[in-house]
């Protein structure tokens, strides 16, 4: 898997991602402590509102930002967004009112909503070989999982010698280092063949997404991932401390078990996807999530929770990690930023549903019924994915261009007249999926 790091451009981008992730992890810890300093016992309300603002920014800003991404060189755009995020991190230690936190978090998360899809869409252009790209996806998943484990420990160690305000400095360093690494490489910036209006650019990614059967299946898988993931993220503390009467260390171990399962799956996926189709692996992972979430309704001990959380981590990574491969094969290079932005927005819309559902149901209905509800939502999502994502999903599809003249450049280039076969994606010449596809 590490062989892919021999590509200099990807190596610099990967380490830029890792450093920025560590900085973001420090920010998460520091933000919690800042919320307590400003709001005391109401810190949970502040953090909950900040999380909601984050999701709203992700859902609303990503498609709009992608509309401008095609007009700007990707390297310049990524560096500028890192600098915006660093600036927000510089300002956060100086806030004195809760509303200032909300404004700065919205700016920071808006920058992230523009940065992340553009960054993700660049990787398949840097690594055109599918095996290399698959390894890159698994490395990215490992980076996210390791960050969730390492950043809190690093923050705890730093807090023994510095104040929590200084943790924001680590975030600043992370974003500045990310920008510096991006500056050291040349990035491809494919441009559309013809200019498009702002509405077309803003909605293009979502229109391509919803017109592509495999991506409609991916949207359903996203909902299954969010349903199971919300149970783990929102209610692990309730299971461990309220149900089993254990301490915060036990909660950290439970979350580490979930992350461990995710990392194991990420390590196995590159080899697995050489022989198993993406659809099979992802739907198996989503089904595992639905079954595991249902099993959580009957948890009777902390030991069983650790085992189940590990299984849920396996399913989480299996269902989520290959999604970049689907996006890569479903758009022309110039449309990938818009498509990755659509995935970013729509997947977070699923979390925007699942997070409050897991929290409200857990509080009002109890954990067993909450697990059943979330498992039912995940199972329904799997059923929808099975229905809308064809089992036979070739990249090249036979189709007809009755609307084009015989001398159209597209028909001349393909050389087979109005009826021909090639890798099919939704674009200006292919506005709907072929009925036989």
Asked whether residue 47 carries a pLDDT value surpassing 90, the answer given is no
Q: CA dist 368 to 145, 191, 244, Å?
A: 27, 51, 14
Least confident of 166-175, 193-202, 323-332: 193-202
pLDDT given for residue 237 in this prediction: 82
Residue 396 pairs with which residues in a beta bridge? 423
**For position 416, what pLDDT does the model report?**
61
β-pair partners for 423 = 396
pLDDT digits (tens, 9 = 90+) for 234-246: 888 888 888 898 8
| β-sheet bridge partners, residue 398 | 421
Q: Which CATH number fits domain 8-187: 1.20.1250.20, 3.40.50.300, 1.10.3720.10, 2.20.28.160?
A: 1.20.1250.20
Confidence at residue 192, expressed as pLDDT on a 0 to 100 scale: 65
Angstrom CA distances, 305 to 237, 260, 298, 312, 437, stand at 12, 14, 10, 10, 43
- Nearest one of 120, 140, 136 to 62, comparing CA atoms: 120
pLDDT for position 437: 44
Task: Give the chain's mean pLDDT.
Answer: 87
pLDDT at position 436, please?
A: 62
pLDDT digits (tens, 9 = 90+) for 279-306: 999 999 999 999 999 999 999 999 999 9
Please state which CATH number belongs to domain 205-393+408-431: 1.20.1250.20
Using the structure block, give the residue that is written with the tokens 């992350």: 259
Tokens describing residue 431: 């506005």
Q: Which whole number is the average pLDDT over 144-164?
A: 78
pLDDT of amino acid 233 = 85
Q: Which residue has the higher pLDDT, 310 or 154?
A: 310
Ranges of CATH 1.20.1250.20 domains, the chain: 8-187, 205-393+408-431
pLDDT score of 369 more than 80: yes
Rounded-to-integer distance, Cα 216 and Cα 303, Å: 37
Is the pTM higher than 0.75? The answer reads: yes
Report CA Rg, the chain.
22
Closest CA to 270 of 166, 140, 369, 406: 140
- Give the pLDDT confidence of 70-119 residue by residue, as tens digits: 677 889 999 999 999 999 999 999 988 889 989 999 999 999 988 988 88
The pLDDT confidence band at residue 425, using thresholds 50, 70 and 90, is confident
30-39, 44-53, 100-109, range with greatest mean pLDDT: 100-109
pLDDT digits (tens, 9 = 90+) for 323-355: 999 999 998 888 888 898 899 899 999 998 998
Q: Who wins on pLDDT, 192 or 218? A: 218
More confident residue, 188 or 192: 188
pLDDT at residue number 254: 87
At 28 the pLDDT is 79
Q: Residues 201-226: what's their mean pLDDT?
A: 93
């Amino acid at each position: 898997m590490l062989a892919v790091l021999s590509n200099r451009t990807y190596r610099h981008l990967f380490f830029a991602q890792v450093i920025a992730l560590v900085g973001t992890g420090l920010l998460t810890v520091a933000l919690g402590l800042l919320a307590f300093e400003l709001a005391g016992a109401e810190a949970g309300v502040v953090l909950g509102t900040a999380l909601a603002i984050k999701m709203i920014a992700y859902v609303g800003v990503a498609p709009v930002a992608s509309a401008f991404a095609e007009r700007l060189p990707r390297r310049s755009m990524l560096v500028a967004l890192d600098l915006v995020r660093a600036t927000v991190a510089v300002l956060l230690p100086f806030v004195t009112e809760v509303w200032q936190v909300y404004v700065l978090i919205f700016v920071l998360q808006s920058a992230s909503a523009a940065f992340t899809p553009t960054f993700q869409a660049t990787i398949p252009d840097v690594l055109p070989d599918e095996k290399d790209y698959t390894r890159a996806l698994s490395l990215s998943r490992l980076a996210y999982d390791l960050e969730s484990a390492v950043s809190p420990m690093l923050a705890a160690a730093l807090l023994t010698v510095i104040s929590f305000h200084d943790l924001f400095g680590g975030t600043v360093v992370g974003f500045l280092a990310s920008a510096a690494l991006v500056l050291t490489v040349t990035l491809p910036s494919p441009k559309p063949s013809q200019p498009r209006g702002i509405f077309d650019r803003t909605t293009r990614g979502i229109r391509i997404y919803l017109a592509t059967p495999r991506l409609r299946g991916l949207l359903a898988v996203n909902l299954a991932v969010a349903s199971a993931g919300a149970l783990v993220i929102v209610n692990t503390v309730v299971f461990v401390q309220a149900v089993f009467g254990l301490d915060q260390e036990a909660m950290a171990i439970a979350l580490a078990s979930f992350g461990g399962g995710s990392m194991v799956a990420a390590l196995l996926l590159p080899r697995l996807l050489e022989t198993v189709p993406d659809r099979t692996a992802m739907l198996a992972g989503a089904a595992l999530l639905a079954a595991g979430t249902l099993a959580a309704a009957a948890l009777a001990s902390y030991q069983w929770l650790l085992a189940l959380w590990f299984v849920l981590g396996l399913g989480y990574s299996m269902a989520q990690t290959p999604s970049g491969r689907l996006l890569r094969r479903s758009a022309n290079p110039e449309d990938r930023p818009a498509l990755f932005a659509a995935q970013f927005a729509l997947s977070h819309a699923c979390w925007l549903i699942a997070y409050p559902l897991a929290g409200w149901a857990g509080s009002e209905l109890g954990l067993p019924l909450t697990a059943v509800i979330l498992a039912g939502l995940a199972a329904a999502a799997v059923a929808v994915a099975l229905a809308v994502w064809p089992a036979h999903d070739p990249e090249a599809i036979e189709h007809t261009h009755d609307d084009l003249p015989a001398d159209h450049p597209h028909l001349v280039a393909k050389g087979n007249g109005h009826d021909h076969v090639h890798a099919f994606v939704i674009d200006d010449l292919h506005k709907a999926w072929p009925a036989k596809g």
